Structures are given as C-alpha cells and as structure tokens.
Amino acid sequence: MAPLRYLCLLLALTPLWAQPLGRSRDSLTVYYSPQDEVAAGVVLDAASSALPVLESALGLHYSRTSDRPQIRIDIVRSQDEFNRLVGTTMKPWVQGAALGGQRRIVLKCLLPQTLRLVTVHELTHVLLDELATELHADPPRWLHEGLAKYAADDFSEADREVLGQAVVQRHLLTIAQVEQAFQGKREQVELAYAQSYTLVDYLHGLRSDGGLKRFLGELALTGDTDRALLRTYGRTRPEIETAWHQGIQEMYLSHGLPFFTEGIILLIMGVLFLIVHGVNTRRRRLIRERLQEEERLRRMFLLDDRSHHDS
C-alpha cells in the first residue's frame, strides 16, 4: 500500500504549471498551459473580434450572446499533442486545424501576429463548414480563403502589389479561374488569395445582410455558381466580374507599376506642370502688358484732350 500512497501524494503535489488553464469570453473558451498566458490573450482577443464580423457576413444571428454555441480553442506546444488533438498526423508546417463538427480549433503556440491570423482563419473555417453542412452546400475555396482574410483584416502590401501587377499585365482572374488557381504555382496561388479577399469584400458590400449565406443556400439548390450569384445579388456573373475587376483596377493599379515606370510618370507629370505653369505665367504677363498699354493710351488721350481744351 505504501507505493500507492506515494503515488497519490505525488499526484496531489503536481505543480500548477502542469495543469491546463482556461479563459472564456462570450461563446469562446481558450485552453492553454500556464506559460502560454500571453498567447491565450492574443487568441481570445482575435477570435472575439472576428466572431461578430463572421456572424454578420454569414447571417448567423442570435437573440442573445448566451445563445451562441460554444467554441473551444486549444493552444499546444508539441507536434505530438497537436496530432493527438486533431486526430491524425499533420504536416509539421501546419499551424492550426479547424474541427468543424466539434466546434473546436487546435493551434500551435506561435508569434503573436501569426497566431492572430491563424486563429481567425481557423475560426472562419469552423463557422463556414458548419453553415455549409446545415445548408448541404459545398463552399468554393475562394469563399473560405477570402472570408478568412476579410475577417482577419489580412490584406498586406504584398497582396496589393500582386493585384497591381495583375492589373498592369492584364492577368486578373475570373471567379472560375480563382478557384483553379489555388492548385497552381506560387504566383497563381498568391493572386488567388488576394483576389479572393477582394471578391468577398465586394460581394459583402452588395448584400451585407447575410448575402453570403443566401449565396450558399442558392448554390446548394442549383449546384451552379452563376445561377446562385444571380439569385442572390440580382446580377449576372459577367456583370459582377466586370464591376469587381474595375474596382481592383482603380484601387491597385499604382501598386503594380515598377519603380522606373513610376519615376517616368512622375517626370512626365513634372514636365507637364512646368509647361502649364510657363503657359499661365506668359498669359498673365501678356494680359498685364496689355492692361498697362491700355492705361498708357488712356492717359495719353486724356492729356491730349486737356491740351485742346486749354487752347
């Protein structure tokens, strides 16, 4: 019995740092090791900020905060623990996993900025997969990735440059091409991610009252992206693509111009400014000289008139 008593004593004296902790806010609970207190705060802040954005975009409206189903987020430190919680062996470079059916997210402990983005991306996948299951829909990849970037406000200068270069080279992708580009080379994948963000942003602007949920529902009914877009937004796919591309061109063209080209444009603008300034200066000088000449002639006529009067 002595060994059993020692084992019980050892378990009772297990240090606090070995026990997982939990922090909750609204419908979110983060579980973490004591040494990951800062990471837990980053995750909770990121998820709680993105949750209402995602719920609004996806038309998930709850009468009270307490009505929201709970979402669990686990922060782990080892690859073995990550694999165990996910339930399968994951590639070492995978940073997070969304277990939609369980409303659960598993994250590796990362640098704060990366952790924030991964948290929101996985939260997006949980909610979107759950809604798609409810509607019996198969969301396109651009919706998953674009909505994740939108909710995380994950749109960098690199994304702007990728879009700008596509505008300059006339390589902007159609909606169908965006979906295919995720399977392409690195440059195509980068463009697919950037355009997905702008497409979700554009569609959400057309119908911010849960339009994406309506689109998924129509997609489930028709099995056709073109018909789902028309039924949801009242515009054909070509009309949507034209307006969407036009917005990209107006906003990101300058980001795709090489430095040399920008320099040439600035030089031309400078030369044009000098020419216009010179023309205006000359015009003002001629007007001033003409007025002075008119004033001189007026005075001369006045003097001549007075001399005739005196005589």
pLDDT tens digits along 92-117: 999 999 997 889 999 999 999 999 99
Cα 151 to Cα 53: distance, rounded to the nearest angstrom:
6
Instruction: Provide the residue type at 276 as one letter.
Output: V
Confidence band, pLDDT 50/70/90 cuts, at residue 63: low
Confidence band, pLDDT 50/70/90 cuts, at residue 126: very high
Question: Is pLDDT at 187 greater than 70 in this prediction?
Answer: yes
Q: Please write down the HEC assignment for all residues of the chain.
A: CHHHHHHHHHHHCCCHHHCCEEEEECCEEEEECHHHHHHHHHHHHHHHHHHHHHHHHCCCCCCCHHHCCCEEEEEECCHHHHHHHHCCCCCCCCCEEEEHHHCEEEEECCCHHHHHHHHHHHHHHHHHHHHHHHHCCCCCHHHHHHHHHHHCCCCCHHHHHHHHHHHHCCCCCCHHHHHHHCCCCHHHHHHHHHHHHHHHHHHHHHCCCCHHHHHHHHHHHHCCHHHHHHHHHCCCHHHHHHHHHHHHHHHHHHHHCCHHHHHHHHHHHHHHHHHHHHHHHHHHHHHHHHHHHHHHHHHHHHHHHHHHHHC
Worst-scoring range by mean pLDDT, 68-82, 239-253, 256-270, 288-302?
256-270
- The pLDDT of residue 256: 61
Summarised one tens digit per residue, pLDDT across range 191-243 is 999 999 999 999 999 999 889 999 999 999 999 999 999 999 999 999 999 99
227 — phi, psi (to 5°)?
A: -70, -35
Question: Is pLDDT at 125 greater than 90 in this prediction?
Answer: yes
Confidence band, pLDDT 50/70/90 cuts, at residue 58: very high
Cα 95 to Cα 110: distance, rounded to the nearest angstrom:
8
Task: Please state, in angstroms and as integers, the Cα–Cα distance from residue 101 to each residue in 123, 127, 133, 183, following that order.
Answer: 12, 10, 9, 26
The mean pLDDT of the chain is: 85
- The pLDDT of residue 301: 61
Pick from 226, 224, 258: which is nearest to 239 by CA? Answer: 226
